[in-house]
């Protein structure tokens, strides 16, 4: 296994180009299953999860190429089975179920397990698909699905689930009649998926709000589509620039999609200025602790919770971070404490008291964003931090050590 070795203390300075969004690209690639024709995607990040998705699509019969950040894909003749060996490595694979049912009327998809941050059931996905006429039964860990064509339905989600919204949105595009989706996720990645589907000929309106209307169509045609930039990668680099007291220009950086993160960082004393060539990030003296509660979009994103916590460990004063989306998303806390952070957990809240310095230490990554928070902390800690099990990190960050080295970080990837 590989690890990252970081010598802390170097202020970051220079330009970092933000890559395409993992959480937009994953559902968008799955949506290719719906399309009868050639598609070219640009600005696709070269990440493990993306390569896993293309492997899954290949098994389903989609021919694809991936060159640089461009993916071409053609899903003409499909087979219905998504094997457990693949689905267990990436939960988002379950999103192929709805598109397979919509396109060929049958699917056999392994039920995804949980992961480090929570049980992450997909009950809301399945209930909605059944309301659209899918017959789903669970047999030895696989969802066996069939339908004689999906029908439009009125779906009210109990919770604005991102994956659930994306899943049903895709299925509804080829369903017969109108589907109304209520209490949906408003994340920008959902809107990016909708924009791609509309470009292929889907009839969708209301994405970005809590109610989406979809008028089913006969078929979808191929097109060319550029994936949006990754707002969570951008937010992670904002935290890294701030914690090292550096000055970084983030190119291709989403800004309005990061409203809640920008507001909190500014409250902490980080200066963020949107310019023509990107977003300039630096800090204005001492950072102060703030309170953060993670919420569905447009609230503060749970995917930035670990990273802002790392920043808060070195801020003046204290702050309370409440995690309201996942039941177990504080795996980074004990590792930060090992670096000298003062954090107390109470239920789904963490009380972070700022300290003057963190001390480098060997730490263990447990999930994608926890890994990112340990890198952020290591960049500012005194001495050497070794982040182990960085396969978690590689799922969501493209060449992170290269991007950080280019702006002055002392970070390298070594074999354990």
Positions touching ligand EPZ (CB under 6 A) are 23, 26, 92, 118-125, 159, 161-164, 185, 302-303, 325-326, 368-369, 396
217: DSSP letter: -
CB of 275 to ligand EPZ, least distance (A): 27
* CA-wise closest residue to 388 among 369, 359, 415, 358: 415
Pairwise CA distance, residues 170 & 214, whole Å = 9
> Are 393 and 372 in contact, with CB atoms under 8 Å apart?
yes
Q: Is 253 a catalytic residue?
A: no
Q: What is the DSSP letter of 174?
A: T
Cα separations (Å) of 415 from 4, 363, 367?
9, 15, 19
Which C-beta is closer to ligand EPZ: that of 239 or that of 361?
239
Helix (H, G, I), strand (E, B) or coil at 298: coil
The one catalytic residue in 115, 173, 200, 253 is 115
Rounded least distance, CB 153 to ligand EPZ, Å: 16
Minimal distance, residue 313 CB to ligand EPZ, in Å: 20
Nearer to ligand EPZ, 123 or 182 (CB): 123
What is the gyration radius of the CA atoms in the chain, in angstroms?
Answer: 21
Tell me how far, at minimum, the Cβ of 1 lies from ligand EPZ, in Å. 20
At closest approach, how far in Å is the CB of 200 from ligand EPZ?
20
Judged by CB, which is closer to ligand EPZ: 225, or 326? Answer: 326
DSSP notation for 221-287: ---EEEPPB-HHHHHHHHHHHHHTT-EEEEET---GGGHHHHHHHHHHTEEEEEETTEEEEEE-SS-
Closest CA to 246 of 404, 392, 356, 372: 404
Cβ closer to ligand EPZ: 164 or 354? 164
Taking CB atoms, the residue at the shortest distance from ligand EPZ is 163
Contact 261, 293 (CB under 8 A): no
Q: How far is the CB of 94 from ligand EPZ (least distance, A)?
A: 9
DSSP letter assigned to residue 312: H
| Cβ at position 273, least distance to ligand EPZ in Å | 27
- CB contact at 8 A, 98 and 125: yes
Q: Which residues contact 18 (CB under 8 A, 6 or more apart)?
A: 229, 230, 233, 234, 237, 250, 251, 252, 253, 254
| Cβ-based nearer residue to ligand EPZ, 183 or 318 | 183
Q: Which is nearer to ligand EPZ, 134 or 287 (CB)?
A: 134
Helices (H), 108-187: 123-131, 162-173
CB nearer ligand EPZ, residue 332 or residue 369 = 369
Of the two residues 74 and 335, which places its CB atom closer to ligand EPZ in the complex? 335
**DSSP strand E in 102-147: where?**
106-110, 135-139, 142-146
* Residue 188 three-state SS: helix
CB of 262 to ligand EPZ, least distance (A): 17
**CA-to-CA distance for 259 and 235, rounded, in angstroms?**
10
> Catalytic residues, which ones?
115
């Amino acid at each position: 296994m590989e690890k990252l070795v970081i010598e802390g203390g170097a202020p970051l300075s220079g330009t970092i180009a933000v890559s395409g969004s993992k959480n937009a690209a994953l559902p968008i690639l799955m949506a290719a299953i719906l399309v009868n024709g050639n598609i070219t995607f640009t600005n696709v990040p070269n990440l493990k999860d993306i390569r896993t998705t293309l492997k899954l699509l290949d098994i389903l019969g989609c021919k694809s190429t991936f060159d640089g950040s461009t993916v071409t894909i053609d899903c003409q003749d499909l087979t219905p089975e998504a094997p457990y060996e693949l689905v267990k490595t990436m939960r988002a694979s379950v999103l192929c179920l709805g598109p397979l049912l919509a396109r060929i009327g049958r699917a056999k998809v392994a039920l995804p397990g949980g992961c480090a941050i929570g049980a992450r059931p997909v009950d809301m996905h399945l209930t909605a698909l059944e309301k659209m006429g899918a017959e789903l039964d669970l047999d030895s860990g696989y969802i066996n699905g069939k339908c004689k064509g999906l029908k439009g339905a009125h779906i009210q989600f109990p919770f604005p689930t991102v994956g659930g919204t994306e899943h049903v949105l895709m299925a509804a595009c080829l369903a017969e009649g109108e589907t109304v989706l209520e209490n949906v996720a408003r994340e920008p990645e959902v809107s990016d998926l909708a924009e791609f589907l509309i470009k292929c000929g889907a009839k969708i309106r209301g994405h970005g709000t809590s109610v989406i209307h979809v008028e089913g169509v006969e078929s979808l045609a191929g097109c060319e589509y550029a994936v949006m930039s990754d707002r969570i990668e951008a937010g992670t680099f904002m935290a890294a620039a701030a914690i090292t007291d550096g000055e970084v220009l983030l190119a291709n950086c989403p800004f309005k999609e990061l409203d809640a993160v920008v507001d909190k960082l500014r409250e902490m004393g980080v200066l963020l200025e949107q310019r023509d060539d990107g977003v300039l990030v630096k800090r204005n003296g001492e950072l102060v602790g703030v309170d953060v509660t993670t919420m569905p979009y447009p609230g503060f994103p749970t995917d930035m919770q670990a990273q802002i916590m790392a920043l808060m460990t070195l801020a003046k004063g204290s702050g309370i971070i409440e995690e309201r989306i996942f039941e177990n998303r504080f795996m980074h806390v004990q590792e930060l404490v090992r670096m000298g952070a003062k954090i107390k957990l109470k239920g789904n809240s963490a009380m972070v008291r700022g300290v003057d310095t963190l001390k480098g230490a060997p730490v263990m990554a447990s999930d994608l964003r926890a890994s990112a928070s340990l890198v952020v902390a290591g960049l500012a800690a005194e001495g050497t931090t070794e982040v182990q099990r960085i396969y978690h990190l590689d799922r969501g960050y493209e060449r992170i050590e290269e991007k950080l080295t280019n702006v002055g970080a002392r970070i390298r990837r070594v074999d354990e």
